[in-house]
Amino acid sequence: MNKVVQDGKVAVILNNYYGTPWYNDHFDQDLVFDPYIVDLILEKQAGKMLDSQFLEYLKAYLTDIGMDEVYVNQSRLELTVEWVREGSSFIINEYDGLESIVYEQDVRWFNA
């Protein structure tokens, strides 16, 4: 699995707004770390790409890799990159499309 790593942190793709979740829409771990999509998001956030271009490139890429069943709509404009310390254990929590990272050490387990 390819990942973008910078300064000991790994790029993780999440949906940053309510609507269609990212990971919780397709459950494909590779798409959570996909370097091409990370680059698209970072280019869009830097103002180097129009929203319409972003959606076009994202849809074309997903089709090219055989993931054309992944929904691409306006809510994909809310995709963001979170930087997670390399080697960290986490899950992606979702509520009504809004996703967030929950680290293993933040989960309080019960014993029966």
Categorize the per-residue pLDDT at 108 as very low, low, confident or very high, splitting at 50, 70 and 90. confident
Total structural domains in the chain?
A: 1
Domain extent at residue 67 = 5-106
- Over residues 84-111, mean pLDDT: 93
- Residue 109, pLDDT > 90, answer no
20 belongs to a structural domain:
yes
32 belongs to a structural domain:
yes
111 belongs to a structural domain:
no
Task: Give CA–CA dist 78/70, Å, rounded.
Answer: 15
112 belongs to a structural domain:
no
Burial of 112 (0-12, 13-18, 19+ CB in 10 A): exposed
Q: Which pLDDT score, from 0 to 100, does residue 1 have? A: 79
- Residue 68, pLDDT > 90, answer no
- Over residues 9-18, mean pLDDT: 96
Neighbouring C-beta atoms of residue 82, cutoff 10 Å:
16
pTM higher than 0.85: yes
Helix (H/G/I), strand (E/B), else coil: 33 = helix
Task: Give CA–CA dist 105/50, Å, rounded.
Answer: 38
**What secondary structure letter does DSSP report for 73?**
S
Rg (CA), the chain: 15
